[in-house]
Structure 1
Amino acid sequence: MQVWSTTSGLMAAEVKECPEFSWQNSQELESFLSDLKICFVMRLEQQFVCPSCSGLVLNPHQTGCGHIFCAQCIRTYVENGEVSKCPLDNISIKSEEIFQDNCCKRELRNLEVYCTNAPDCTQRIPLCNLQDHLKACPYEHLKCSNSGCTDVLLRKNLLEHQRNVCSLRLEPCEHCGQSYPVSKLLDHQKTSCPEVEVQCSNKCPQMIKRHKMEQLQQDMLVQQGTLKDHSLVLGSLDRNISLCDSTLTTLQRSVEEQSLRICSMQHELEDLRGVLGSELHDELPSLRASLDSLRQQVAVTESLREHLGVLEQTCQRHTHLLDIHLEQLQFNEQRFHQLESTTFDGKLIWKVRDYWRWKEAGTPVNSMPFYTSRSGYKLSIRAYLGGDSSGRGTYLSLYVMIMRGDFDSLLPWPFCQNITLTLLDQSGSRNHASSTFTPDAISDSFCRPTSDSNVATGFPRFISHSDLEIPRNAVYVRDDTLFIKAKVDTTGLEDL
């Protein structure tokens, strides 16, 4: 077995190929075989070795004297058509007598060689098929194609590395579907994925998707900012009104003082009219001037009174706008709480507060709606804590209502899924009280709703008040609160 390096004796001259060979030209062949250690199965005959550079004759050219050289070496002897001597027998070499030896080239490329990945790979293939073999050889060393990865592995291990081992492989986020490197996927889910459910900002146990939480928080911040602006304007108006009231009070006091002074002067004038007629006549212009000044002050007072009326109208308008924004803020908060408590998996845990008050009132209590899926049936629970129908006064009555939903036209009717209602034990012993019923297909309660909700149906005698309030091995009412769970069997339901 001989080992040949193809680094020497190669050239980029174009050659004509026979149909049975896969290489298009000698340049592609030489580029592929450069820097490879070629191991021939049989000892290489001398005719396939260039006598000048001792390299493989991949692009053989024969001279007129019968010697075979590689194209690069023969060019050094015949350049620009000049006549040179053959280095072997000193015979003149003419350029027109040099031709490609395709027969030698065909024989060389059909010689069997060992795979360059030996001893791991034991394949023996013709030299002309070496390139195709290396494209599929499981022991070929390849670089991982994942962006940023510099690991080099055997081809047989590359696929497993790219799919399961490489820390830079892309995997889709299970929430939003976007692809991220494995090393960054967890950080994406923890900090920025819009579809990940996070805890409510109000510290309640309900989970809500991050992008909905951010949108609601932004809406509430905008409403709170607008409310703050109006509050500032209202405060400024209140200060202006207070200032005007103070000024008006001062002016009114001044008017009263001047009026008293005038009255006093009139009395004095009447008393002295007979005695000081001439002197009073001289003092009359001064009194008239003082009276004119007082009239001007009264006019200013009336102007301030009119300005005060305008300010009151402005204050009323801003107060009206403030009431509108308060109503919108209350609506957004109600919508936020409703979104927090809505479930879409056919399950609901309902916290019922003020048990004793509702029991004594004898009126029904309705739960928030819940859904079997995002586009499924809409249901709610109705409870009569003091009992209803045959259980009035002695039993807790529980019912289920099918409500009109947005996707009813796409759902199968009548509603046929089993429903389980459970009164949860709060002692930790898990002695829950449960009852399950199967919907009656011919009952109007389970047909497609034509109003906001169908007639409620369920258990008028779900549990007696004695078992509910004084159970043996459970605690159903604690701190005036009980928990009711509803679960819909979603087997067989398909998501739209």
Structure 2
Amino acid sequence: MATAEEMTPIIGRRLPFQRTESNGSSTMELEPRFECPICLKCLEKPVQTSCGHRFCAECIQLWLQKNRGCCPIDGRALDPGKDVFPDNALGREIDQQSVVCSYPNCRLVMPLLAYDKHVVEVHEQFEKHEAFLICPFKNIGCLYQFKNPNQLNTHVEKLTHHHLQLLANSFEALSMKVPGSSIHREIDAMSWDPPQKDGTPTTEASMQSLIKSLYERVVTLEQRNTEQDLQLRRMSDKLNQIMQSRSQFEAELGLRVCNGEYTWVVANLENKIRRILMAGARADELSCIIMYSDGFYSSFNGYRFCAKILVNPSQRHLSLHIHLMIGDKDDFLEWPFKGKIAFTLIHPTDALLSVREVMCSRPDVEAFKRPTDVMNKRGFGYPQFMSLADLVTKKYFNHDGSLNIRIQVDVF
């Protein structure tokens, strides 16, 4: 609550009420409807004016005595005896509020009005010898102090509205004390209102109106800037979603237009094969290697397949199978699948060493029936397509340890 020496609104340590997170630290701020616009602390013995604003009872009385009976919010004339009324409902609501102390290692729960006294008596005595960073707006009434630059920067960014109010109040007080000075001339130059024809000098009321208009304009521009930032953020998120969808579509498109011919580059396979061969008799202790290719289509609206590699360390052979997968056009296709499938193990340097095997579908085989899950559990292919030793000794692996396998599907 304001003291008898205070002429303009000031702010000390603010009471905690609403929790906010900033740079990993936890602070508490007073809910705006419980805040006195004059002392910027919790309303004590709240009163309401005829123009609808709430203040501490003592704060508004002192303000009206020292500022010619005008409301500090809208400048409307107020009679302390007729236009100021106790707000008992809000007072009861404040009395019922409890808060938790936001200081580290202190989680004391107390009434809202008792917090200020608690901070002064319990915490500030331990902080008076510490070095604090002072808000750059201290000279105009912002008395916040901080222990690190991050807290100070966050304060300056988030309390622009409060600092503008302090600037407006300070400017108003200065203009009152120095009438006819260069400040008045600068204000007149900034005003967009046409000069009065009768040459009447600028009155105190018109000066206050100008300051209020400037303040409202700044607030409007701040709100517009915030809305534009939000809109830009939403557009950026939407653009990222579109780019991801496009990348996914392009990847799937390549699998659709391959016309049943798909080259599978099986990455990171050579080291796993060599580990099995080097294990010797202990190879049985190693886990099986199972790898699946991407799902590709026999035509744009055709059957969908994927290839599977299985390496059982105990058998020392590369197994190669084909599996049918659910496609989005399965309702329009004939089942079971009828056609032939060719596997080609491509040698990276000698085409004569490439191995090609062709197999035809059979209607009685479960692997060629319409899939009921994402992929048919039964596959069709070669349990011993090539020995692991031949893969290594005949150098079927690329320089990066990958293996090239081409799958060709022809539909009858």
Give the TM-score taking structure 2 as reference length.
0.41
Pick 1 or 2: higher relative contact order, CA cutoff 8 A, min separation 6: 2
TM-score w.r.t. structure 1 length?
Answer: 0.35
